[in-house]
């Protein structure tokens, strides 16, 4: 065994360990989907003023039902109750994990170790921070859930929720004061507390804020303020309806087109056999001049170790601290880190295969002559119903656990247009270019030396999903990877999967931007 091969084996074991630890670490992390559902629920609640318009037009009522759904208040209450239960579960787990850590000595040590040098203390601080965030989120959910209950006539249930919130000692006092304000507004007789308006405006958002302000202004008999907030409600409702139409109707229409395309190409495949569009290049492998050792070298050294070890180590050594509240700097850091990983991986790829130049036909092909555009666009539409179906099954399997891409959370909560532009550059341009060159341009064709074209598609799709390091995303991303692989093998142009990938990420970011702007 050569030294190079021994080193490659060791690096492979290290990579497998890092990937395994990352996947195990994502097990207890909440899925991003539950947060998205709450954001969409908040926009539906904002559209209530639009729903309240009187109209006997049947078409108007059909549109209302399609966009807002039936019983939006009841559905929102159910969503918030489920979210609250999930937070309670995670809160108990965090408390148990914190209790199992070795307790710190009460006596003063000669020289306390910094957190970065004491693994127990560092983990304790992380768990405490997570615990504080969960407690804050639970308080916010209780405030909002009470408003929902009060609006449905469940006043006693709402008052009980707010009273229990006031009695908790593990929250910011302002949440307790806000709960006391809401309790006074819906009590009989009502009680108006000082700073009620300021507390409502600071600790409630969207529909919840305007609903509480309406109740306050009615009790204070302030018609001008009441008229202003109701006018703002109507304006927000019109915007909310437009947002719901974009994030609901457009993807649904695209998915319908994709479903029709799937039925057509599958039916054509059954009727025409190998002459069908879907069978085009379906069993034609690439001529691969390198062996499996080169494939492993590119992915282990160029992708996993660069992304999981070397580049993170480089960032940790830099004397730069990015403020947690500066979303622009965070976005720039994400882009820079991604570009460095991509550049390093592509450099390893080039150095690994340059001795085989010139490459055989169809390697890293960017052919403009064929129908790459229609393959990419059609593949995007076809991927929508497939991935949505797999995602629904996936949610049932993981029950809200398994983690998600942290970039999605940052993009959702960012209200900064410059930061969103940088996130878009990372996800919709840099990611499709790099990942398609690596996974579809190199890995998939290389695997056809040992596997059938379909086998290469499946294996490369699974590795594509695993590379995102989130257990809950493995099934949906594998399904997306299969569509990307089919599009590439049939079109024989990397432009097609790059377009599909870019459209997919762009659609995701657009939905996140709309959801975030409505909350």
pLDDT per residue of the chain (519 residues) written in tens, 0 to 9: 688 888 888 888 888 888 888 877 766 665 555 667 777 788 888 887 665 554 555 555 555 555 566 678 888 898 888 888 878 887 887 777 777 766 554 444 444 444 444 444 456 676 677 778 788 888 999 999 999 999 999 999 999 999 999 988 777 888 999 999 999 999 989 999 888 999 999 999 889 999 999 999 999 999 999 999 988 888 888 888 888 888 778 888 889 999 999 999 999 989 988 888 888 888 889 999 999 999 999 988 888 888 888 888 888 787 777 666 677 888 888 899 899 999 999 999 999 999 999 999 889 988 776 789 999 999 999 999 999 899 888 877 766 555 555 555 665 566 677 888 888 899 899 999 999 999 999 999 999 999 999 999 999 999 999 988 888 889 999 999 999 999 999 999 999 999 999 999 998 888 877 776 655
Q: What's the pLDDT score for residue 413?
A: 61
d(CA 461, CA 473): 12
Q: SS in 3 state form for 245-264?
A: HHHHHHHHHHHHHHHHHHHH
d(CA 210, CA 227): 11
Q: What's the pLDDT score for residue 445?
A: 95
171: three-class secondary structure by DSSP: coil
Q: What's the pLDDT score for residue 107?
A: 40
* 204 Cα distance to chain centroid: 24
**Residue length of the chain:** 519
Residue linked to tokens 């006018």: 231
Q: What's the pLDDT score for residue 30?
A: 58
Residue linked to tokens 């290389």: 446
* 217 Cα distance to chain centroid: 38
Q: What's the pLDDT score for residue 212?
A: 94
What phi, psi does 30 have (nearest 5°)? -70, 150
DSSP 186-197: HSSS--PPTTHH
Domain range list for the chain: 27-104+118-241, 246-517
d(CA 240, CA 69): 14
Please give the DSSP secondary-structure letter assigned to residue 282: T
Residue linked to tokens 């992915």: 299
Q: What's the pLDDT score for residue 106?
A: 40
Q: Kindly give the interhelix angle for 196-203 and 173-186, rounded to the nearest 10 degrees.
A: 120
d(CA 346, CA 301): 11
Here the tokens at position 260 are: 């029709």
Beta bridge partners of 401: 30
DSSP 102-154: PPPPSSPPSSPPPGGG-HHHHHHHHHHHHHHHHHHHHHHHHHHHHHHHHHTT-
Here the tokens at position 252 are: 């649904």
* 275 Cα distance to chain centroid: 40
Q: What's the pLDDT score for residue 423?
A: 85
Q: What's the pLDDT score for residue 29?
A: 64
CB count within 10 Å of CB 372 equals 23
Contact 178, 203 (CB under 8 A): yes
Here the tokens at position 161 are: 């929720």
Cα dihedral: 159, 160, 166, 168 (round 10):
-160
């Amino acid at each position: 065994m050569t030294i190079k091969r021994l080193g490659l084996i060791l690096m492979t074991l290290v990579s497998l360990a890092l990937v395994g630890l990352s996947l195990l670490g994502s097990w207890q992390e909440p899925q991003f989907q539950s947060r998205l559902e709450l954001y969409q629920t908040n926009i539906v609640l904002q559209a209530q003023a639009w729903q309240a318009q009187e109209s006997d037009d049947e078409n108007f009522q059909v549109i209302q039902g399609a966009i807002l759904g039936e019983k939006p208040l009841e559905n929102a209450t159910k969503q918030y109750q489920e979210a609250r239960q999930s937070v309670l579960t995670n809160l108990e787990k965090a408390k148990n994990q914190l209790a199992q850590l070795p307790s710190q000595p009460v006596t003063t040590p000669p020289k306390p170790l910094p957190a970065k040098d004491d693994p127990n203390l560092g983990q304790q601080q992380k768990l405490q921070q997570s615990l504080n965030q969960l407690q804050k989120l639970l308080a916010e959910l209780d405030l909002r859930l009470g408003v929902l209950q009060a609006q449905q006539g469940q006043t006693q249930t709402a008052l009980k929720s707010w009273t229990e919130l006031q009695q908790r000692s593990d929250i910011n006092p302002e949440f307790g004061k806000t709960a006391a304000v809401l309790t006074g507004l819906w009590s009989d007789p009502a009680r108006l507390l000082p700073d009620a308006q300021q507390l409502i405006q600071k600790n409630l958002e969207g529909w919840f804020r305007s609903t509480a302000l309406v109740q306050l202004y009615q009790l204070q008999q302030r018609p001008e303020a009441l008229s202003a907030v109701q006018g703002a409600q109507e304006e927000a409702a019109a915007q909310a309806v437009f947002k719901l139409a974009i994030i609901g109707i457009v993807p649904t229409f695209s998915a319908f087109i994709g479903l029709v395309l799937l039925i057509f190409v599958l039916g054509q495949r059954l009727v025409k056999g190998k002459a069908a569009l879907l069978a085009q290049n379906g069993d034609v492998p690439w001529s691969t001049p390198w062996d499996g050792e080169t494939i492993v070298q590119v992915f282990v050294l160029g992708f996993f170790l660069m992304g999981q070890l070397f580049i993170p180590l480089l960032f940790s050594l830099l004397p730069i601290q990015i403020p947690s509240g500066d979303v622009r700097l965070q976005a720039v850091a994400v882009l820079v880190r991604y570009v460095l990983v991509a550049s390093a991986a592509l450099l390893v790829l080039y150095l690994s295969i340059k001795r085989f130049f010139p490459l055989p036909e169809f390697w890293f092909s960017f052919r403009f002559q064929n129908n790459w555009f229609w393959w990419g666009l059609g593949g995007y539409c076809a991927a929508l119903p497939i991935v949505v179906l797999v995602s629904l099954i996936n949610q049932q399997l993981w029950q809200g656990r398994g983690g998600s891409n942290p970039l999605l959370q940052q993009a959702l909560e960012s209200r900064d247009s410059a930061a969103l532009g940088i996130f878009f550059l990372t996800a919709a341009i840099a990611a499709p270019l790099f990942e398609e060159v690596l996974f579809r341009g190199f890995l998939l064709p290389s695997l056809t030396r040992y596997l059938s074209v379909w086998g290469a598609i499946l294996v490369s799709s699974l590795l594509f999903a695993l590379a995102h390091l989130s257990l809950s995303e493995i099934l949906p991303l594998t399904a997306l990877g299969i569509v990307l692989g089919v599009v590439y093998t049939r079109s024989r142009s990397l432009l097609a999967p790059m377009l599909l990938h870019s459209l997919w990420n762009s659609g995701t970011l657009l939905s996140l931007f709309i959801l975030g702007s409505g909350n």
